A and B are shown apart, each in its own frame.
Chain A
């Protein structure tokens, strides 16, 4: 019978966590502070997500920072991706938030609720010019005109293409000048029914939103209002879907499911099932050892050039008692020396422009073949600014909840987007 009771409890879990953590910190805080003060050093807690490569890279960068000075130490906590938000949320709710935390699209959940602190002043004091160091993404993690996180990793979505397939089909390699028509024509030539497909598909927000912005559409407009069912967005979504269900140049969900469990664009490209795939830097790692020829190129264009970018930034939680030290650490971690580690380990694209343009990045030591790394720099000039609203997760769910069948079986983009627009209007509080 206890199982029956526990159901009421499930949502209360956070409450216990909050209570017990509060109690624990109340007991231990005295000791902890004394500890860090006695040695004259400050120990900062930093949380990041990811796997082994990420752990290694962050730790190496922290080691560099610790070697550069004697007063600040950083204790790194790596939390697996799926649990990251919940873990950090529980930590913050318990009043024990990390000093430095990695944030991405969800940044404004925290900033809108004052759980992370604005960094403008700290940056000004430290003489850090975000525009100079990071270019247009410098102020990406902003809320109401204040910067809440310093960019750390930032790379545009790029086109991976299978050179062997392109050569066999006699198609010119993809480039930034391609229009939708060029792209579709190439996909059609590269498709061999039931065997090989021209393109891996655009079912993920980062992919079809790129088309929407290329088409002059916007998901959320400048005033913060949803515009998900504008004709431009509708046309882009319909095209993305028609590539699968009308033109047959993208595998259907059923065809993907038949390739194996958790099959998607990235593994399908590595398995030589699709000729082109649009995704982030991370796919490079798994492609270094494959036995076919591939390369990367910047995204094609529509009415205009636009592409989404992935990345993450570093923020300071409101619980940090050592905000200045934390910022000092962030400043160092995003500076050239520490950022070079990111590329050395083939972890991601460093946000620091200086590193992005360095030889280390353009001709990485780990590259077992010629890879057009300049594609990232080329793309950065036309990256569109994702609407990082506080209700990001709810917005994503609104799309997922109404596009599932649409992607799986085809359908009318307008109908779906009208429903989504209504839902978004209820989720996003009108600016007052």
Chain B
């Protein structure tokens, strides 16, 4: 949706009479009515603008400065240059561990969530009995508050809990999930898959929007259901998959609540992620400068991944409007 929004803006720009280079767009031609309109524009946009500058832009700029200082929030900040960054990158094994854990989590949970989401959406798109019931049911987990979900998962993931009982039925000896350094991250991924229904709803509506003619034509040409999926459904929903990918990546890199409630980063930091780490540094250890530096490093990581995703998107994301 981000991409489609961007396109929408592009379209506006393209048709705007004020576009740069448009010769006949003299500024003084702002009529009285337009002036009034402009005034109203600023009036209506101001709540957002004030909020943005005061609560987003201001703190962002402040946190750049704070990241260059040593600050305990009580005494005045001491400027230390890039010490916080070098400390994180060269001297703090926990930072690298948390970064590694976050990568592991994001790079598995996001694709997994998408695969499950597409699969569920495709199933729900079939004309089956109780379709509406299933749709509601699959979206339901997304509505349960995270804290409640995490508490339930604490029981589900217990060493002799329901999940391991289930694995036992098929002859697998389940691990101690949250207590085992190797299995605690997969456990968090299992928890993330539980919320895949959120993506399903978006994907499903995208699937519903695909013109029936495509399928009719394909059927006449003798395409089976699998071919139809890969040649029609999938290309048509790639913009929504792309949107979910970007939002999923951002969300996964910022994972906090699940870790905070389920493991607090343990055992032995095996589930420590970036945001819980910076939270701990700031609010438990009173290292605000260092925490801000971690925040900005995380920002760089997220923006890098987003850029990569956007760059590669040209190869696989299909926009009908771009077809000439």
Contacts and interface: CB of A to CB of B under 8 A. Distances in A.
B292 A11 contact: yes
A9 interface: yes
B294 interface: yes
A261 B149 CA distance: 12
Contact of B283 (A89, A253, A262): A89
Interface in B78-128: 94
A357 interface: no
B59 A12 contact: yes
Interface stretch (A66-74, A210-218, A268-276, A396-404): A396-404
A429 interface: no
A115 interface: yes
A257 B73 CA distance: 38
Given A9-B63, A253-B179, A408-B179, A260 B155 contact: yes
Contacts of A8: 60, 63-64, 295-296, 299
Interface in A4-20: 4-16, 18-20
B268 interface: yes
B32 to A, nearest CB: 35
B79 to A, nearest CB: 15
Interface string B279-307: 11011111010011011101100110010
A204 to B, nearest CB: 14
A3 interface: yes
A150 to B, nearest CB: 21
A37 interface: no
The prevalent SS among residues of A at the interface is helix
Contacts of B54: 16, 20
B288 A11 contact: yes
Given A93-B73, A400-B266, A16 B59 contact: yes
B282 A261 contact: no
The prevalent SS among residues of B at the interface is helix
A1 B299 CA distance: 12
A400 B280 CA distance: 13
B155 A7 contact: no
A79 interface: no
Nearest to B274: A7
A109 B94 contact: no
A13 B292 CA distance: 10
Interface string A276-315: 0000000000000000000000000000000000000000
A401 B179 contact: no
A258 interface: yes
Contacts of A255: 159
B295 A10 contact: yes
B298 A7 contact: yes
Nearest to B262: A261
A4 B59 contact: no
A257 B176 contact: yes
B295 A254 contact: no
Contacts of B251: 3
Nearest to B157: A257
B63 A15 contact: yes
A18 B76 CA distance: 12
B302 A7 contact: yes
A284 B275 CA distance: 37
Nearest to A1: B2
Nearest to B180: A408
Contact of A257 (B159, B264, B280): B159
A92 B151 contact: no
A19 B58 contact: yes
A401 B269 contact: yes
A394 interface: yes
B162 to A, nearest CB: 11
Nearest to B300: A8
B173 to A, nearest CB: 12
A262 B155 CA distance: 9
B158 A12 contact: no
A261 B288 contact: no
Nearest to A391: B285
Nearest to A401: B269
A110 B265 CA distance: 26
B298 A401 contact: no
Given A258-B160, A404-B266, A4 B73 contact: no
Contacts of B161: 257-258
A258 B159 contact: yes
Interface in A380-432: 391, 393-394, 397, 400-405, 407-408
B1 to A, nearest CB: 11
Given A115-B74, A257-B158, A10 B180 contact: no
A11 B266 contact: no
B278 interface: yes
Interface string B175-211: 0101111000000000000000000000000000000
B283 A15 contact: no
A262 B261 CA distance: 10
A11 B295 contact: yes
A89 B63 contact: no
A11 B74 contact: no
Given A12-B292, A258-B160, A401-B266, 6 more contacts: A7-B295, A8-B63, A8-B295, A93-B74, A113-B75, A408-B180
24 contacts: A4-B303, A5-B60, A7-B275, A7-B298, A8-B63, A8-B299, A9-B56, A9-B295, A11-B66, A11-B292, A12-B295, A15-B63, A15-B66, A16-B54, A16-B58, A115-B74, A257-B159, A258-B160, A394-B284, A401-B268, A402-B268, A404-B267, A405-B181, A408-B267
Interface of A: 1-16, 18-20, 85-86, 89, 92-93, 109-110, 113-115, 253-255, 257-258, 260-262, 391, 393-394, 397, 400-405, 407-408
Interface of B: 2, 54-56, 58-60, 62-64, 66-67, 72-75, 94, 151, 154-155, 158-161, 176, 178-181, 247, 250-251, 253-254, 264-270, 275, 278-280, 282-286, 288, 291-292, 294-296, 298-299, 302-303, 306
